[in-house]
Amino acid sequence: MQISRTVRGLGLLAVMAAAGCKSLDVENPNAPDAARALSDPDALEAVAGGTLRTWFNTYDAMEGNSVLVTQAQTYSASWNNFNMNFYSSIDADGTRNSRPWQNDPAAAGRTSVEAPWSGYYSALSSATDVLRAIRTNGVVINTAADTKRAETIAVLVQGAALAGIAVNYDKGYIVDETVDLSTLAYSNRKELRDAALAKFNDAIALAGANTFTTPSAWTNGNSYDNTQIARIANTMAAMLLAYWPRNSAENGQVNWAQVATYAAAGMSSGTPFDFVFVGDGCVAWCPEMIVWFNSIDTGRLHTRVANMLDPVTQKTPWPLGGNPQPNSADKRLGDGSFGDASMVAGFGNVPKTANAGTDFAWSSQANFNNARGTYHQSNIGHIRYDLSGTQATTGIYFGYGPAPVISAAQSDLLWAEALIRSSGSLATAATHQQDTRHARRAPAGGSGRRDRRPHGEAPVRTGARAARPRRVALLQSPSRGQRPSGGHASGNAGPREGARGVRPAAVHLGRDRAGELADTSVRTVKGEGTKRRAKGQREGRRDNAKGEGTKRRAKGQSEGRRDKAKGEGTK
């Protein structure tokens, strides 16, 4: 009986399945495909604005960029978060020959290669979707002006994303709305550069031919009109041409007159302005490089650069016992005082005096592990973007507030360098160079000229590659089929941990904030996208290792104490 009932039951199920299988094939109207989504004007406009966020989060991400600025000895950190210790440390023979780029799916250090690649191509993909919808499918967003605004920003992001690939990789894919993805093939870095430059030129033309203002939500706080977008595109084009070379031969082939032309139409011409995004605590908008390197308990200014600010007190390499409190005539450092008395136990600061610096501060604490190499140590931190003045958890210390990604000063320095290299007007070059130096750099009693430089740049040097350290290019595109993995959990084995412990200036399209001081005009990595904190950061804690003289942030701030894990290696 039991068998009979079972058979009958199975038979009934079979009949029901046969009769009703088609009726179960129901379309879900709440999950439209990409084509339908991108035909919706409101959705398309959101995608257009979102391309800027993806690019910003990649351009300012620690993954990839932090390796470049620490290798360049602009900033310093012996933590192995984001593979910094592995890639930036020095071997016993004084080289980094045992530390090549880990372009291998099995290597822990691969994330420094993969993350920028994925971020820039994510931005490029979304921008291309927007342009295909507008230019091929004829989608109109509200009005003709709104449509042109979205089109212009999408083209700008195409250029910025391709520039990021061209500056950092040997080869990549040139993708836009006209490309058949089934025939996609690698292009070399020169072809990538030229494709990016063409996109910048297109964005300049579009911005010049149309009138619009971007929504403030597209940068999480700031709006830019069409003329400013054109000037941003001009500065990006100048940065691309100037930062692309990897050796003196390539540097000599740059059309420096063209660089000067772009810079002359860029962000420092007329009324200067900076291209600024606003961090939200790294929930969606993450100025991660500033978060790490404007936190004096996390990253430090390398002694190579600190020595330029005060050669008397800030010795390089770092001496055992540390460098004493500075007394610099350079107003960016001054006496190194910063913050208030409540911070001293945690940060080792000297409370702010009338002689405090505008950009840098001194700490008595050597917050890295000497066993990883004392050359990582420095007593000078970068505090230029800490508007709270106290490393408050409501400020950039925790990812909140204004985060400049490209400055008018960068454009000025590029303009000056291009004039010098192209045999242009040295007097004009000197003017643009001096505009980045007066007031903030001058000693007390110096010039009171208006400061146009938010990043603390020094004079342009004219000697070959010494003029501006570039970021080290990533050697290859990542192996296909890989997904970036955080790989930063405490105890992770691999080349990052246990290594001995020292952006080219972070040029991501060139902006290494402290690097501008070192005659680098630049930022945060890779000359240009979505910066992600590794697992445990965004939810993430940053903890300085035990016994390294640093403070713990309050529990649960922002969901997130960023912990430098025990043993120093991970976030």
Q: Per residue, what are the HEC states of 427-477? A: HHHHHHHHHCCCCCCCCCCCCCCCCCCCCCCCCCCCCHHHHCCCCCCCCCC
Dist CA 71 CA 94 (whole Å): 13
pLDDT band per the 50, 70, 90 thresholds, residue 312: very high
Higher pLDDT, 432 or 151: 151
Write the pLDDT tens digit of every residue in 523-557. Answer: 222 333 333 333 233 333 333 333 333 333 332 33
Dist CA 315 CA 306 (whole Å): 8
Question: Which of 77, 12, 134 minimizes the C-alpha distance to 377?
Answer: 77
Residue 388 lies in a domain: no
Question: Which of 31, 115, 152, 88 minimizes the C-alpha distance to 471?
Answer: 88
Dist CA 307 CA 454 (whole Å): 21
Phi-psi region of 357 (alpha: psi -120 to 50; beta: other; left: phi over 0): beta
What's the predicted TM-score (pTM) here? Answer: 0.77
Question: Which of 240, 242, 267, 239 minimizes the C-alpha distance to 254?
Answer: 242
Please state, rounded to an integer, the average pLDDT across all residues of the chain: 78
Higher pLDDT, 27 or 22: 27
Query: For position 112, which CATH number holds?
Result: 1.25.40.390
Residue 234: its pLDDT value, please? 98
Residue 515 lies in a domain: no
Residue 467 has pLDDT above 70, yes or no: no
Question: Which of 570, 566, 571, 569 minimizes the C-alpha distance to 545?
Answer: 566
Name which of 197-206, 352-361, 431-440, 543-552 the model is least confident about: 543-552
CA-to-CA dists, residue 561 to 287, 347, 486, 557, angstroms: 16, 16, 17, 6
Compute φ and ψ for 365, nearest 5 degrees: -90, 135
Dist CA 341 CA 462 (whole Å): 43
Write the pLDDT tens digit of every residue in 71-123. Answer: 999 999 999 999 999 999 999 999 999 999 999 999 999 999 999 999 999 99
Residue 560: its pLDDT value, please? 33
Higher pLDDT, 252 or 526: 252
Query: Containing H/E element for 205?
Result: helix 189-209
pLDDT band per the 50, 70, 90 thresholds, residue 428: confident
Dist CA 412 CA 85 (whole Å): 33
CA-to-CA dists, residue 220 to 156, 260, 352, angstroms: 18, 31, 31
Other Cβ atoms closer than 10 A to 323: 22
- Judge contact between 364 and 379, C-beta under 8 A: yes
Residue 434: its pLDDT value, please? 75
3-state secondary structure of 171: strand
In a 13 Å sphere around the CA of 307, the CA atoms on its Cβ side amount to 12
Residue 551 lies in a domain: no
CA-to-CA dists, residue 443 to 350, 433, 447, angstroms: 20, 17, 8
Residue 472 lies in a domain: no
Q: What is the mean pLDDT of residues 394-404?
A: 97
Residue 220 lies in a domain: yes
Write the pLDDT tens digit of every residue in 134-144. Answer: 999 999 999 99
Residue 276 lies in a domain: yes
Tokens 């520039």 correspond to: 163
- Judge contact between 227 and 270, C-beta under 8 A: no
Dist CA 550 CA 296 (whole Å): 9
**CA torsion, ordered 239, 240, 245, 248, to nearest 10 deg:** -30
What is the CA angle 156-158-159, rounded to 5? 65
Residue 571 has pLDDT above 50, yes or no: no
Dist CA 201 CA 433 (whole Å): 26
What is the CA angle 179-208-189, rounded to 5? 40
Q: 197: Cβ–Cβ under 8 A, 6 or more apart, which residues?
A: 159, 237, 240, 241
For residue 193, count CB atoms less than 10 angstroms from its CB and return exposed for 0-12, middle for 13-18, buried for 19 or more: buried
Dist CA 77 CA 367 (whole Å): 9
Tokens 């990549």 correspond to: 172
Q: 155: Cβ–Cβ under 8 A, 6 or more apart, which residues?
A: 127, 131, 199, 202, 203, 206
Residue 554 lies in a domain: no
Residue 42: its pLDDT value, please? 95
Residue 266 has pLDDT above 70, yes or no: yes
Domain hosting 259: range is 37-293+402-467
Q: What is the mean pLDDT of residues 9-13?
A: 44
Question: Which of 48, 72, 212, 17 minimizes the C-alpha distance to 526?
Answer: 72
Write the pLDDT tens digit of every residue in 39-82. Answer: 899 999 999 999 999 999 999 999 999 999 999 999 999 999 99
Q: What is the mean pLDDT of residues 477-489?
A: 33
pLDDT band per the 50, 70, 90 thresholds, residue 429: confident
CA-to-CA dists, residue 153 to 53, 287, 412, angstroms: 12, 20, 24
- Judge contact between 474 and 169, C-beta under 8 A: yes
User: For the chain, what is the domain count?
Assistant: 1
Residue 28: its pLDDT value, please? 60
Residue 30: its pLDDT value, please? 56
Q: Which two tokens stand for residue 111?
A: 């994330």
Name which of 163-177, 239-253, 312-326, 435-449 the model is least confident about: 435-449
Residue 304 lies in a domain: no
State the DSSP code for 315: -
| Strand 400-406 to 275-280 pairing | antiparallel
How many Å is the Cα radius of gyration of the chain? 25
